[in-house]
């Protein structure tokens, strides 16, 4: 200063410049999505009798989700079983005998037709001997021969009828299995564990086959879907840590 007073010195700290990494954050907004999402519906049509789950319910794999009224399906099973038993009786099967034990040659219609054919064959042999000896007119021999051919045709028809009964038995067996499967399909099971994301039906509602009843989402693992701005995409690499905060939930999740 002009008066010659000295200026007080300042305390200064010095340091050597160093290179250090600085965290660069890319802040984006995204959506959490489930690993799997399954829309469930019945394979058969019917009236919904029970649906014990609600929106947000937690379910385990193979847990019952909903059930249709089974009255009609139980009646179909009984009807199919009665038709099967009738087909078995027509084949002469006892209640405990397996279906494969059928011998069509032992059926009554086949036995009767074979007996008539054998009798006609015997009459034809006698008629042939008498005709060869000149003791029987040709017209009578031709009549006997025609009777044998008719009996032979009836025997073939009886065999065809027996085979048709066998085929009908197999058909009735399949119809019973289908009826039982449809009865089992009146219960809807969860194919995966998770939570109920949507519920589309209520008790008493008629459900067509395939109509969505509920939607189940798998909660583990969750996947974050987001878009990265082009200007920040060059900084993104595999294996970099991600910190996620969820709106409405406290804390930060590492990923």
Q: Which of 117, 116, 135, 115 is nearest to 126 (CA)?
A: 135
Q: Residue 4 — very low, low, confident or very high, per pLDDT cuts 50/70/90?
A: low
Residue 39 and residue 215 in contact, taking contact as beta carbons nearer than 8 Å:
yes
128-137 pLDDT, tens digit each: 999 888 888 9
- pTM of the model as a whole: 0.70
pLDDT of 214 higher than 80: yes
The residues facing 226 across adjacent strands are 30
Determine the pLDDT at residue 172.
Answer: 95
Determine the pLDDT at residue 223.
Answer: 82
43-64 pLDDT, tens digit each: 999 999 999 999 888 999 999 9
Determine the pLDDT at residue 5.
Answer: 61
Across 167-188, average pLDDT: 96
Q: Residue 3 — very low, low, confident or very high, per pLDDT cuts 50/70/90?
A: low
End-to-end CA distance of the chain: 64
Q: Which of 66, 62, 61 is nearest to 44 (CA)?
A: 66
Determine the pLDDT at residue 125.
Answer: 93
pLDDT of 148 higher than 90: yes
Across 213-241, average pLDDT: 88
Across 83-112, average pLDDT: 88
Determine the pLDDT at residue 136.
Answer: 86
Give the number of other CB atoms < 10 A from CB of residue 80: 20
Structure tokens at 221: 């693992």
pLDDT of 251 higher than 60: yes
pLDDT of 217 higher than 60: yes
The mean pLDDT value of the chain amounts to: 90
% residues pLDDT > 90 (the chain) = 58
State the Cα–Cα distance between residues 35 and 55, nearest whole angstrom.
Answer: 18
Across 202-226, average pLDDT: 90
Check residue 107 and report its DSSP letter.
S
Task: Specify the higher pLDDT residue, 223 or 41.
Answer: 41
């Amino acid at each position: 200063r002009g008066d010659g007073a000295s200026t007080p010195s300042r305390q200064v700290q010095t340091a050597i410049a160093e290179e250090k990494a600085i965290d660069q954050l890319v802040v984006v907004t995204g959506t959490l999505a489930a690993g799997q999402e399954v829309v469930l519906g019945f394979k058969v049509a019917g009236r919904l009798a029970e649906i014990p789950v609600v929106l947000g319910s937690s379910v385990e794999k193979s847990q019952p989700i909903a059930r249709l009224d089974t009255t009609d399906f139980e009646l179909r099973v009984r009807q199919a079983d009665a038709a099967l038993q009738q087909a078995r009786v027509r084949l002469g099967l006892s209640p405990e005998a397996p279906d494969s034990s059928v011998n069509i040659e032992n059926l009554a219609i086949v036995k009767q037709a074979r007996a008539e054919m054998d009798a006609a064959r015997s009459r034809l042999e006698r008629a042939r001997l008498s005709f060869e000896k000149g003791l029987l007119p040709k017209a009578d021999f031709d009549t006997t021969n025609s009777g044998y051919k008719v009996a032979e045709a009836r025997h073939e028809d009886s065999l065809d009828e027996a085979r048709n009964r066998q085929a009908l038995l197999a058909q009735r067996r399949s119809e019973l299995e289908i009826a039982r499967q449809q009865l089992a399909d009146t219960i809807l099971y969860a194919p995966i564990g998770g939570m109920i994301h949507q519920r589309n039906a209520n008790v008493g509602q008629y459900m067509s086959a395939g109509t969505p009843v509920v939607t189940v989402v798998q909660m583990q693992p969750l996947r974050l879907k987001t878009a990265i701005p082009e200007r920040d995409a060059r900084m993104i690499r595999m294996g970099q840590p991600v910190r996620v905060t969820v709106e409405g939930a406290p804390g930060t999740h590492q990923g």
